[in-house]
Chains A and B, each alone.
Chain A
Amino acid sequence: MNVQQELEELMLTYEGVCAIFITDHDGGLILNVGLPASLDNSRFRQQLIVSHVTTIPQIHKLSMGGHQTTFAMYESHQIAIHSLAKYYFIVHAGCNTNTGAMLALREKLAPIANYMMSVCPPIDGDGLMPPPSYPSAAAPPPDFD
């Protein structure tokens, strides 16, 4: 599977989706499709990743189980952030894009996440959990303030 190609195909399938990028749970960029190269290190993307990563500890404190998707609708665009395995898939779309389709995109992204996990499994062999010695933004310690 060519992950970049798969993401590009998904992006073209869903009308209005203009970028999809994958980060790890610490906000490090793994793959990026859609955004022009000149915007690769743009403030837009970095702010988006940072703002999402900072929300994860708060979301866990709601005690409603693990995070699956954060969807944010702005006046000018929409963002869906799907937590899949140890990655965040961030989907950026225009304001007229179908919201349900953006949320349902999670099902299409799951095989890609599974493939990425098989290509690059965690060292301890657990495909879903990060190694316990490396605290992740997705699972803050219980005494986190």
Chain B
Amino acid sequence: MLRQKALVDVLGQVNTSGVDGSWLFNKEGLLLAYVGTEQKEVASNVSSALLASVWTALERRANDLKETILVLEDGVIVCTLVARSMMLAIRASKQTDLGLVRAKLHSLSAYLEQPILSISHDLG
């Protein structure tokens, strides 16, 4: 099984150097874990649903979507798939170098791949 405390610890490791939030959620937008500063206006479970919705819209026209980057006025959100069934997203401030954010996303995604694959198999 995936231990929640360990998962939160792992997600929290990327929250440095301008990165202030990381989500793990499924493609339906249901949140598994969030670590980071809570936004006043939008709860983390709402953000995950919105990000999943954006992903689904972009994936609708081509099934081979690997990664998205949303550049907004107050920050950047990068998002990728983990183990084909889960999604990992990271929020960073606008000043953070995008290469660093993507590197964190890719290493976290690679680290989580095997544990999530194993629980996917358990569920399947």
Contact = CB atoms under 8 A, between A and B. Distances in A.
Interface of A: 44, 47-48, 51-52, 54-55, 58-59, 61-76, 100, 103
A70 B68 contact: yes
Interface of B: 39, 41-42, 46-47, 50-51, 53-54, 57-58, 60-62, 64-75, 77, 91, 98-99
A73 B68 contact: yes
Contacts of A76: 62, 64
DSSP majority for the B interface? mixed
B39 to A, nearest CB: 6
A65 B58 CA distance: 20
Contact of B71 (A44, A52, A69): A69
22 contacts: A47-B60, A48-B61, A51-B61, A52-B57, A55-B57, A58-B53, A59-B70, A61-B42, A61-B46, A61-B50, A62-B42, A63-B39, A63-B42, A64-B72, A64-B75, A67-B70, A68-B72, A71-B69, A72-B68, A76-B64, A103-B71, A103-B98
A66 B72 contact: yes
Contact of B72 (A51, A67, A72, A100): A67
Contact of B67 (A55, A63, A73): A73
Contact of B62 (A65, A71, A74): A74
A64 B60 contact: no
B66 A51 contact: no
Contacts of B51: 62
Nearest to B60: A51
A71 B68 CA distance: 5
A73 B61 CA distance: 13
A70 B66 contact: no
Given A58-B54, A59-B54, A100-B99, A68 B71 contact: yes
Contacts of B91: 64
Given A47-B60, A68-B72, A71-B71, A62 B66 contact: no
